[in-house]
Structure 1
Amino acid sequence: MTRTLRLALLASTVLAGSAAAQDVTLTIESWRNDDLQIWQDTIIPAFEAANPGIGVVFAPTAPAEYNAILNSKLDAGSAGDLITCRPFDASLELFNSDKLADLTDLAAMENFSDVAKSAWQTDDGAATFCVPLASVIHGFMYNRTAFDELGLEPPATMDEFYTLLDAIQEDGTYIPMAMGSADQWEAATMGYQNIGPTFWKGEEGRRGLIAGEQSLTDEGWVEPFRHLARWGAYLGEGFEAQTYPDSQNLFTLGRAAIYPAGSWEIGVFTPQIDGAFEMGAFPPPVLAEGDTCYISDHTDIALGLNAASPNADAARTFLEWVGSAEFATLYANALPGFFSLNSAPVEMEDPLAQEFVGWRETCEPTIRSTYQILSRGTPNLENETWNASANVLAGTETPEDAAARLQEGLASWYEPQQ
């Protein structure tokens, strides 16, 4: 081998090594181990194709173990570059302990509303530390085939809602609505938090409660309980002992006509029903025609930057892409029922998912009232609201007594309510 050829080969080897050294591999920590294949097959390849030199590995942990394992990794300095963020206090604690970087200056943050970012901000909104990925939307699923058989239409107002339930009840073919009170969270999450924003006027009421300007004994907070008390007549025999899976089965087996729902059920119900009947959805009814429609468009999942990541620049490049319209479309269609929080419109391929997300065009969004700040103390307002909602649904506690108990508990530790 000539000296010239040897030098040429050495030079090419050095250059190749230098190029390889510039390549970065980012690791994503997440509790969503059920969507590993989607990240590997769809999301990551799209990013890597547009960003040569930056590789991405999705490394999830079992959901129940995620918080503990993530905290251990962060303390040990072995956590991935990108951290999947739970909403509100768990992620806020990581930020306050300097485990998550401040992403307020990320250009992509301009693509998200204040409501979308609220789950991953400091209490004063001054700093945002995770890029919102998706929310879940509350409303009502219904058996469209059953509605067609009975000549029924989805309701727009509360009066129409109860007229509809009465008609289904009178016909007797179907249980009007599937919900139980055994698993208390179901009554609160798909009941009280579903219709409640209509009465407390979404963000106006939620923020008023945090500020101490409203009380849980105000009419806007008691009235949703009064409606839950009415629901008991339409839930079928033995609903008091009915679990969440029982409710799901009643609907997917075609025995119940309406299901108070979270959009996450879309991906669960579609294969179970498998064409046995057609599903539809309608938003929480308004009080009167012409009133503002409110929906719980609840912030669920986001992505942050490990403050100790040695690959911060590459990670920020990835997060800018996560905040893009391209990512929003990929993610929302790969996981129907988990909706992009990006302000850019996303064309949904799943027709039922499109119905849910279409409500954003006509309804004011809010999040569950108990999630921000108000469940940091003891008694925990979120858990107490589960119990109160189940009691009211089952008729073992009056709406007024339930509201008074919740208010007393909140005021016992939360200074703005004292």
Structure 2
Amino acid sequence: MKMRIGTGTALLVTLIFIGFLAVYIVLSRLEMINKDYSLSTQMLQSEQGPNHNQPVKIKFGMWETKTDVEFWTRKVREYSVIKPNVTVQVETIPDNSGQYLKVRLAVSDLPDVFYLKAADLPIYKNSLQPLDHLNATSRNKYPAELDGEILGLPLVSFTEYVFYHPSVFQEVGVEVPQTISEFMSVLEKIKLHGKYIPIAIGGKEDWTFYPFIEFGPPMLKGDENYLANISNMKEPFGKGSAFEKAAYMLKRIADNQLAGSNALGIGFDQATQLFQSNQAAMIAMGQWYYSDHMTKVGDDKDLDAFPLPWRTSREERLQAITIPDQYIAINKNSQNTEEATAFLEWVFSTSVYQTYILNSQNSSTLTDVASSPAFFNKVNRKHPFESFMYDGISQKFAIIKNAAHYDEKKMAQEIFAGASVDDIQKRMNEDWSKALQSIDVHNPTFFDN
């Protein structure tokens, strides 16, 4: 799902993908040999008599988020006490944009249990085990349903914020912005002050642009079903579009170096270091960032947050993106689906989940487990807003996005590198229209239901 940014770049991306695929084909063949040997051993054992305590290994795949990786690496040891024959291996997935897992999908080597983004669920749906009849499903507020089946359960929900240092705002003489123009003005005043980077963005990792380029358009449009609705438009980009407004906002940040002079040269970790060391005044992230900040800084004495104010006037409703995330799914082709299902139930059990949600400082997705993070309760009282419940699941959007090579975060990188917003939109409209036409021609009734 990459935007074409030049023949050389496209060739490089293709070669990298082919390289990943070749490595995984070799590894999968080796694993098949091991599985064949293991299967032969199991058959021999079954002839000698049943063995209900046979060792089982489950891979639990999650994004490279330090808080989650550390928590679950510790926590799964408790599961082995409950089930001595089951070993759960926490496997880190290098990116949450889906590219790494697509390679794994191509060679049928998905983890047994793993995280997925809402937008990626339609891509993996044919490889996912239905979760309809689980206890965890009946207690989840936001189960992901595709084609009449529940295929993923979100582990968390969270709100998007702009974290900031009150001491910096006080020193510069700015207040929490209430509109998008006020927000841009605050950025520029901090830049003019000369001591701080207005907002830290780790643009070397394209996903860090998501608060602006992924969530900006639906917020500007005021449409919680934005993805589903643009899937029915031939040219959703261009003059006056919500995408254009968000893109030009990013371009202004890039052209005026409001994210520093080297935003494309640093990643997420370096961006958070700039913020945590008070070299940057702000950083835009979900509430999940708070745990990382506390781990690195140790306190929140000079930390506050406010919703990115996408509204154009103070008379409009002030809203903030609130989404379910980290959808846990089960690989239906796993050799251990029963054990994987039992493990998923354990993850969402009251005691385990309560410990996790308090540790992560996110909001609970379960009806019977409350989450009351003190920091965000204080933030929401000081800077009240209404939740904007963004629906990130649209099967038609996922298909068109893939066919049109639409990748808004890559486009954000292009903008920061100096690309024309108008050129990007023109190219994107052409690709989008062709993809939509192809789907309508070859599958005219596919989405009727």
The structural deviation recorded for 1:355 is: 4.8
Structure 1 residues 95 and 161: CA distance shift in structure 2, 3 A: closer
RMSD across aligned positions (CA): 4.4
With the length of structure 1 as denominator, give the TM-score of the two structures.
0.71
Give the gaps of 5 or more residues in structure 2.
1-49, 442-449
The structural deviation recorded for 1:285 is: 0.5
CA distance in 2, matches of 1:241, 1:89: 25
Q: Which residue of 1 is the match for residue 325 of structure 2? A: 299
CA distance in 2, matches of 1:87, 1:249: 26
- Determine if the alignment matches structure 1 residue 388 to structure 2 residue 418: no
Matching residue's letter, 1:227: M
Q: Which among 261, 267, 274 is matched to residue 250 of structure 1?
A: 274
Structure 1 residues 67 and 170: CA distance shift in structure 2, 3 A: closer
DSSP 3-state at the match of 1:377: helix
DSSP 3-state at the match of 2:328: strand
Structure 1 residues 375 and 240: CA distance shift in structure 2, 3 A: farther
With the length of structure 2 as denominator, give the TM-score of the two structures.
0.67
Q: Which among 240, 248, 261 is matched to residue 238 of structure 1?
A: 261
CA distance in 1, matches of 2:382, 2:132: 29
**Deviations 1:359-399 (CA, angstroms, capped at 9, x unpaired):** 998211215699951565344212xx23322333455313x
Q: Which residue of 2 is the match for residue 158 of structure 1? A: 180
The answer to whether the Cα contact below 8 Å between 2:251 and 2:416 also exists between their aligned partners in 1 is: yes
The structural deviation recorded for 1:54 is: 8.7
DSSP 3-state at the match of 2:231: helix
The structural deviation recorded for 1:320 is: 4.3
Structure 1 residues 305 and 244: CA distance shift in structure 2, 3 A: closer
The answer to whether the Cα contact below 8 Å between 2:320 and 2:385 also exists between their aligned partners in 1 is: no
After superposition, residues 57-206 of structure 1 pair within 5 angstroms as 57-64=87-94, 67=101, 83-87=113-117, 92=122, 95-97=125-127, 100-113=128-141, 116-118=142-144, 121-122=145-146, 124=147, 126-135=148-157, 137-179=159-201, 181-186=203-208, 188-206=209-227
Give the gaps of 5 or more residues in structure 1.
1-19
Number of aligned residue pairs:
378
The structural deviation recorded for 1:172 is: 3.0
DSSP 3-state at the match of 1:364: strand
DSSP 3-state at the match of 2:225: helix
CA distance in 1, matches of 2:201, 2:341: 43
Q: Which residue of 1 is the match for residue 433 of structure 2? A: 411
Structure 1 residues 271 and 223: CA distance shift in structure 2, 3 A: same
The answer to whether the Cα contact below 8 Å between 1:197 and 1:294 also exists between their aligned partners in 2 is: no
The percentage of counterpart residues that share the same residue type is 17
Matching residue's letter, 1:284: L
DSSP 3-state at the match of 1:402: helix
The answer to whether the Cα contact below 8 Å between 1:194 and 1:295 also exists between their aligned partners in 2 is: yes
The answer to whether the Cα contact below 8 Å between 2:157 and 2:363 also exists between their aligned partners in 1 is: yes
- Higher CA-based Rg: 1
Q: Which residue of 2 is the match for residue 3 of structure 1? A: none
**Deviations 1:165-212 (CA, angstroms, capped at 9, x unpaired):** 2432343332222236555443x3232124333112242322201243
Structure 1 residues 53 and 92: CA distance shift in structure 2, 3 A: same
The answer to whether the Cα contact below 8 Å between 1:28 and 1:84 also exists between their aligned partners in 2 is: no
Matching residue's letter, 1:302: I
The structural deviation recorded for 1:257 is: 0.7
CA distance in 1, matches of 2:246, 2:294: 30
**Deviations 1:141-165 (CA, angstroms, capped at 9, x unpaired):** 1122322434543223223323422
